[in-house]
Amino acid sequence: MNFKIILLGATISFLSLPISAADYNEKIMTTVKWIEKNKSGLGYNLGSRYTEDLKYGDYTFRSTGGTSTMCVAAIFEILIRSITDAKDAEGRLVSSAILKGQVLNGSKALNIAPYAFQYASLTTIPEYKRKFSAGIGDAFVLFGMGKYVNFQRAKSGDFVYFNRTSGTGHAVIFINYLDSQGKITKNANESIGFRYFSAQKNGTNGMGYRDAFFGSCPKVDTDYVKDCSLIKSDSRAIFAISRLDDPKEWFTSFSAIRVERYFKGDSIDLITADESAFRQRATTELAEAEKKAKEYAAKGKYPLVVTKISGETDAAKQSLKTIQFDEYSFGPNFEE
């Protein structure tokens, strides 16, 4: 007889801990190229969402504003299109088994949308000393879906959030490094900018490519319209690059514990550093619970077996009910 420990409304599989998680960048880039071919230049509007309704499992993300969209909605659309058919480590569609609509949708602390869209929280986030996140990368870390990387390690398909000296910001997909001549280079050390894909008004009027540069615009010809005065910084609050892990390596279970730590003051770096131990703890406790269940079953008893980490998750969920977001108020000034 097979025994399963059912927690949090989902079957939790036992997992191995990868030393370096495989990424999903190739799939992200496949989506970017499809959107470039089929959805480019369909209009830009700061109040619009998605170029069309996006089906995700049994949930639909509704488009607003016709085919026009804006930057954070654009990269969120790229994310959803990329993972719609993705499968977890057990071979199940993640859209039916992990991150269902009630997790992805809305603006509560246990949804990823508020972090990806940088909705204003009614509670100050300690790490940033402000009421909004550093973008989709925070969501990736908090929900066990990915990680932050530095500019030197950026690769095609990474998610980028940046600010300009003008006070405006943008959310984009990293494509390539650009050198001082505005040409593609593989050498991060000689780059002065990068090519990106997103939705913006100037140069694309919706989805499309632009060439971005730190500081002033170089006086060279580029393949796409220039976007200049970017601020290059080690602070994620100003400039951040994140990477989505292959869904087979996600660990979305018990995310409430990570999120509670985030709002209580633990940094994203600390949460990231603790991730291997966190996953190992969950694995060990689940294995112990399975062993107890078998022992009880052998005696003809079938009590509910609850792990300590499950109890901590329930407590975290309760404490997070006080965290609310205003989806009509953005943290940064996402003009384009």
The predicted pLDDT at position 6 comes to 36
Report how far residue 9's alpha carbon sits from residue 197's, in angstroms, rounded to the nearest whole number. Answer: 37
Residue range 101-135, pLDDT digits in tens: 556 666 689 999 899 999 999 899 999 999 999 99
CA-closest candidate to residue 151, choices 57, 238, 66 = 238
Half-sphere exposure of 261 (CA within 13 A, CB side): 21
The predicted pLDDT at position 298 comes to 87
Side chain identity, residue 49: R
Q: Answer yes or no: pTM beyond 0.85.
A: yes
Helices 255-264 and 308-319, packing angle to 10 deg: 50
- Tell me: pLDDT of 14 over 90: no
Residue range 159-174, pLDDT digits in tens: 999 999 999 999 999 9
Comparing 95 with 231, the larger pLDDT belongs to 231
Q: Are 264 and 115 in contact (CB under 8 A)?
A: no
The predicted pLDDT at position 102 comes to 59
Q: Where are the domains of the chain?
A: 7-11+13-278+315-330
218 SS3 class: coil
Q: Are 197 and 172 in contact (CB under 8 A)?
A: yes
Alpha-carbon distance values, 196 to 67, 85, 174 (Å): 20, 25, 5
The predicted pLDDT at position 5 comes to 37
Q: Are 157 and 165 in contact (CB under 8 A)?
A: no
DSSP class of residue 326 equals E
Token pair of 41, please?
A: 């230049």
